[in-house]
Every structure is written in C-alpha cells, then in structure tokens.
Amino acid sequence: MKRSARIRLGITLIILLLTGAALACQAVTPFTPQFDFTIEFGQPDTTPTATPTPTQPQAEEFPPGHPTIEAREPVTIPSGESSELFAPFWEAWDIVHEQYVDQPVDDEALMNGAIQGMLGAFEEANPTTYEALPVPGGEDTGTPPEIEELFVPFWEAWAFAHHPDDQALMRGAISGMLDALGDQHSSYMDPDEFIQANIPLDGTYEGIGAWVDPNREYLTIISPMPDSPAEEAGLLPDDEVIAVDGDDMTGVDGNLVIRRILGPAGTKVVLTIRRAGVQDPFDVEIIRAEITIPSIEYHMMENDIAYVKLFNFGEDSHQDLRNALDELLEQEPVGLIFDLRNNGGGYLETAIDVVSEFIGEGVVMYEVYGDGHRDTYTANGDGLATEIPLVVLVNEGTASASEIVCGAIQDYDRAPLVGATTFGKGSVQNWVALSNNQGAVRITIARWLTPNEQQIHEVGLEPDYPLAVVSQAAIDEGFDIESFGLPMDQIVILDEEDILQGRDPQLDKAVEVLLDLIRER
C-alpha cells in the first residue's frame, strides 16, 4: 500500500539566463521568478529497488516567453553517496537532540528549517544550470529509520535543488535546522569561518575598546570600556553592528565581525550602527587604539561611603576586589556602593567568588540543562562584606556574570539594585566541532537561574529603583526615550554641560538609597 503526501515549497529562485544576443557578447541577464509548486511523492511500505525521477520544471511554470532553464539528464546517485555527504548534518542533528537546552525539540520544525536553509544556499549559489536527481532512499541518505517518512519532503527538495556544490546545500541545511530552534545563540559555522574564529589573538589588543555579545543576529555592544575610542565615539549598550567599512554583516558570525573591527592602533574603522529608538542606521567612524582592559576602581566618597567599580570578571578580578575591600573596610565606611554598570561579564567561577564577598551562605545560582539536571552553585562562606549596608548600580550594559551576582544579591534582599534593567544574557553555549573538518555547531546547552529561579536570559533584572539616563545629543539624533518604558520622573536627560562636569544621576540615587538604608538600621 502506498502512502502519499504533498509538499508546497515557496521558493525564490535567482537564475541567470542567457539570451541569444547576450550569449554572443558574453553578458547575462538577471531574472527572478517567484512561484509555488507541488511535488507528489509515494513512499512504499518496503524499501524501493528504484527511486522515482522528479519531473523537470516545464516552461509553462514560468512567465510567458521565459526561456527554458538549461537542464542535463538526471544522474544516478551511487549507493551511500548521500549518506556520506550528509553525515555532518546527522551529526549536528544528534547534537541538537542531545545537548540543546529546551527539550524535546520539534523534529518537523527542524526538518522544515533544514529545507529552507538548503534552498537558501541554492538561491545564494545562483546556479546557471539545473540538474534534477532521483529522490534518494533512506538507506542512501543516512536518515535514521524512525524519521525516514518525516524526511521525505527534505529529500524531495534536495533532489529538486541539486547543483554542483552539494556541500553548500548540506551546510545550508545545517544552518537552517539550527535557525529553526528560534535561539539566536545557536548556529552553524562553516569550516573557513571556524578556522578564522579560532586563530589566536596576539598578546596586544588594539581595537575600539568595547565589550560585545557575538551571539546575536548582529554583533551587539554590551558596553564601551571607559575612556576608549568606542566610548568617545558614542557607542551605547545594545547598539548592533550591521556593517563594517561598508560591508554588510548580515549572516556573518559575530566572532568574525570582531576580527574585522580589530586592527592596528591609529587606523580607522567605520561601523554602521542600528540603534533602538533611532529610525535609521548611521555610520560611526572610530580610530583604533591600544586598549588596556581595566579591572577595578575604588575610593572613599563623602559621608564615609565606600565605592567599588568592577569592570569585568577576569582571572584576577576576584583578588583585585578582595584587595580593594580590605583597604576600604580598614577605613570603617558606613556603607558600600558596588558599581556593575557596563560590566559585560567574564568567568563564571569569578562571578561565584565575587558574589560570595557579599552573601555569606546559600545558593547563588542554578545552571539548568536540557535533560533536566541542574548544577547548583553556592556561596564560598568567606566573604569580607556580608554585613555592611550595600547598594548595587546596574544598567543596560550589566550582563552575564554581572547578572549572576546581581540576581543573587537581589533575591536574598542583600541590597537593592539602582539604575536600568540589565542586559539579559543568561545562557551557556558549547561549540562542537563536526567531524572531517566540516565546521562546528554552537548550541545553547544551559540557562542560568537566580536563587529564586528567576530567568535572566533575554529578560534581564529589573532594578528596585529604576533610573535611566540619556544624553540630549542622543535624543537630537533621533533616540526615542519612550523605548525605556519608564515614566519621565525616572528618566534623566543630560545636556552637554552635565556630561562635561561628570554628572552621574544614577550614582547620586545610589547614595540617596544607601543613606536611607543606614538611617533605617
């Protein structure tokens, strides 16, 4: 008994057609037909001895007068050839099912995504010839027996879209499958991109001086480093780099975009920025410099308040913080402001050590995996500042490891958060290299939860005392302050004079809140 099914594939083919006159002068004329077509297929209950040959598209499927696409006779696929070609695809399929954080995954959605990715690769290749193939059977494709029927539409589409670079189709299928997860942090990197992304950076860092998130649709600024070219150029948290020196970065892995931005001190790079609240993208010209990555800044303020700003969570950051606390606590401050604004994160282990300076005991974070198990992280129990009145400063650039610290401090009511909603980066990615140098899959394997099991990822942490800050210059350039989602009494607009004088309304608010806490004791 035969089971039948239908699949409608909406495809945009970009085809270069040679007319007689154009052929004589070696010119090509672009034509972009858009059409829907229906493929009928039959799947016998037993493995067929021969696979049916799909019909070549006929001229009447195209607009009247459209030249027929050049086609060659269908070829026979040697047994096992498709299986070998698509081995990396099935390897990636297994990685998704074994490691992805949100299980179970939707196999049909993954298959449809693989079709779209494959057809996207076909369109990008822009083939000038068309070669339909017989639809391969399950034993020739490596398709697991339990999903052979599900994948019949995929192999129908592959037989239709076949062109000389089958590896490009296979890689497109991997990319489309991962896109179908709907997770901006899970993706595929082809062999060349993977090699480039793993070239070690040399000992000196010369660039623009910004912490970035390479795992989004476009490379995204988490925060500029203090006194860096990025800060001087006016880059802001959540700015997206959509082009570098005029080259579109759509679809380019963020790690490769970083390498385009890095360069010798004194040289120029032009970034095209897409900014929330600003209608049109705009160019920012930045002169690269040698960047010294700061670790910590601390001092005593008026009213006997200690102030510590941690810039990142590097290997030495915890010891730097401990040294700063030792020195400050000797001066018997009445309270402490811990500034994590524009801290883009760093090592998880460092985050646990840092939060342990302020929380005496208990769970500080959960790391939850796709199979349901979780790793629990607890405070070390040897903190120096577990009793002193405390306020934590946060903003849109407070991300990742910083959010682990802030989430635990907030959940335990150890201290209020003052400032703006944090960045919302609370997931863990794993790079898995595919066999035979076929690139790598980046897959989200876990998410971080606060002690009260709050989700950080793509949500961020809401401050207890919200206060957003924006410059008048940004508003003049088109920034919409309504994008903050706050009432006007929780938004401070800084003019040029405020900026020159170093006015910091969020720090002023933190001092106010801290003094209130001290009076209430």
Residues with a known catalytic role:
400, 411, 425
Q: What is the largest CA-CA distance in the chain?
A: 90
Q: What are the CB-based long-range contacts (under 8 Å, 24+) for 69-76?
A: 69/15, 69/17, 69/129, 69/130, 70/128, 70/129, 70/130, 71/129, 71/130, 71/131, 71/132, 72/129, 72/130, 72/131, 74/131, 74/132, 74/133, 74/134, 75/131, 75/133, 76/134
Residues in the chain: 521
Rounded CA separation 88/433 (Å): 10
200 is written with which tokens? Answer: 């070690």
426 is written with which tokens? Answer: 């609370």
How many other CB atoms sit within 10 Å of the CB of residue 368?
A: 17
Q: Name which of 140, 286, 129, 290 is nearest 202 in CA terms.
A: 290
Which of helix, strand or coil describes residue 91?
A: helix
Rounded CA separation 108/150 (Å): 7
How far is CA 75 from its chain centroid? 41
Q: Nearest 5°: CA angle at 351, between 346 and 355?
A: 150
Rounded CA separation 96/83 (Å): 19
